[in-house]
Amino acid sequence: MNRKQLVKILRKNGYKATPQRLAIFELILSSKEHPTAEEIHNEVSKKFPSMSLSTVYQVLHLLQDLGQIMELKFRGQSSRFETNTTPHLNLICPGCGKIEDYNSNTIVKFWSKLENEFDFEALSQRIDGYRYCDVCKK
């Protein structure tokens, strides 16, 4: 997925490819940190100072409705967002909340096996693993 493809998807669904929408998407795309809406707002408002947090939320919900990003909800914490919508492992540190992505063929195969076995097509999926990161281990 890249900027060009997103422009196409937005237009196909009747939405304008505004610079703000593209900036938010590209920020999540380039981030390895699974940023929160607040973090996204902080970053994007450097370029678009008049953009409010609620606008950021609107864009995030739009991108989610279009299936281009995924929201990861955590109890008692802000949601995090990512563009990686293919089956993968989120390795989460319970100490600092940092999330790392692990992509592996094993997971993709495992997931399609499950879909076949139980005869469904997943709208989305989420696989989380918890372990302390190198910093928090100490």
CB closer to Zn ion, 7 vs 72: 72
Q: Which range touches Zn ion (CB under 5 A), out of 15-23, 25-33, 58-66, 90-98?
A: 90-98
Shortest Cβ distance from residue 14 to Zn ion (Å)?
Answer: 29
Contacts within 8 Å (CB) and 24+ apart, 1-8 = 1/29, 1/68, 1/83, 2/29, 6/68
Q: Which of 101, 102, 104, 112 binds Zn ion (CB under 5 A)?
A: 101
Asked if 83 touches Zn ion (CB under 5 A), the answer is no
SS3 for 13-32 is CCCCCCHHHHHHHHHHHHCC
Segment contacting Zn ion (CB under 5 A): 19-27, 48-56, 78-86, 104-112?
Answer: 78-86
Stretch that binds Zn ion, among 17-25, 54-62, 109-117, 126-134 (CB under 5 A): 126-134
* Residue 36 C-alpha from the chain's centroid: 9
Which of 93, 98, 79 has the alpha carbon at shortest distance from 32?
Answer: 98
**Which residues of the chain form contacts with Zn ion (CB under 5 A)?**
82, 84, 90, 93, 95-96, 101, 133, 136
